[in-house]
Amino acid sequence: MSRQPTSRMCFVCGRDNPVGLQLEFHEVEEGNQVRADLTVPDEYQGYPGIVHGGIVSAILDEVAGRAVILGGGDERLMATLRMTVRFRKPTPTETPLIAVGWVEQLGGIGARVAGELRLEDGTVTADCASLLADPPDEFKDQWEEEKLYWRRSDRNGGRTA
């Protein structure tokens, strides 16, 4: 599995965000998917022992959206236009989870992507279907400065391009 790059301050993947989840995403060749192994701490609960639905949605948005950059297409960042989330079971905090995302259709200016949040035994706790599009030019202009920080991190905390 190859590692995808992360940003500085993204709530989900930002390695320098002190209140973020700081997830690492990997590309899984089998199934052409993006994957993150994670445990959501109790600080992000809605009900006791249950991950807040907004946090579940944020994780799904990130893992599904990252599927469009599979294979090193880092320049193909897109923005979510619409996302439908189904909460199938409560997602427990302090429990190992797997987030998986994939592309269902890619073409033109948009993409249809999907994702799941699973327990280690494969039970799906939530899933999403999303429609993505190229972001507006003003976003792209702001992103140019941030590209300097868009890096893959190694296991020892160092940064590589």
Tokens 């320049």 belong to residue: 75
Pairing, β 124-133 against β 110-119: antiparallel
**What are the structural domain ranges in the chain?**
2-145
Cα(62)–Cα(35) distance, integer angstroms: 10
The pLDDT value given to residue 146: 77
More reliable by pLDDT, 16 or 155: 16
pLDDT at 140 over 90: no
**6/56 Cα distance (integer angstroms):** 19
Instruction: Give mean pLDDT, residues 24-41.
Output: 95
> What confidence score (pLDDT) does residue 160 get?
42
Helix (H, G, I), strand (E, B) or coil at 139: helix
Count Cα neighbours of 59 within 13 Å in the Cβ-side half-sphere: 29
pLDDT attached to residue 79: 94
Q: Please tell me the pTM assigned to this model.
A: 0.90
Token readout for 18 is 């002190």
What's the confidence (pLDDT) of residue 161?
40
How confident is the prediction for the chain on average, in pLDDT?
90
Cα–Cα separations (whole angstroms), residue 27 to 60, 67, 92: 15, 8, 25
The pLDDT of residue 110 is above 60: yes
With CA atoms as reference, report the closest residue to 63 among 107, 13, 110, 29.
13
pLDDT band at 153 (very low <50, low <70, confident <90, very high): low
Query: Considering the domain 2-145, what is its CATH architecture?
Result: Roll (3.10)
What would the two tokens of residue 117 be? 């949040």
Per-residue model confidence as pLDDT tens digits over 39-97: 999 999 999 999 999 999 999 999 999 999 998 776 778 999 999 999 999 999 999 99
Average pLDDT over residues 137-147: 76
pLDDT score recorded for residue 151: 64
* Whether 7 contacts 146, CB under 8 Å: yes
Quote the CA–CA distance of 50 and 139 in Å, as a whole number.
34
pLDDT (average), residues 10-20: 95
Find the mean pLDDT for residues 26-41.
94
Asked if residues 25 and 7 have their Cβ atoms less than 8 Å apart, the reply is no
pLDDT over threshold 70, residue 19: yes
The residue with tokens 């907004």 is: 54
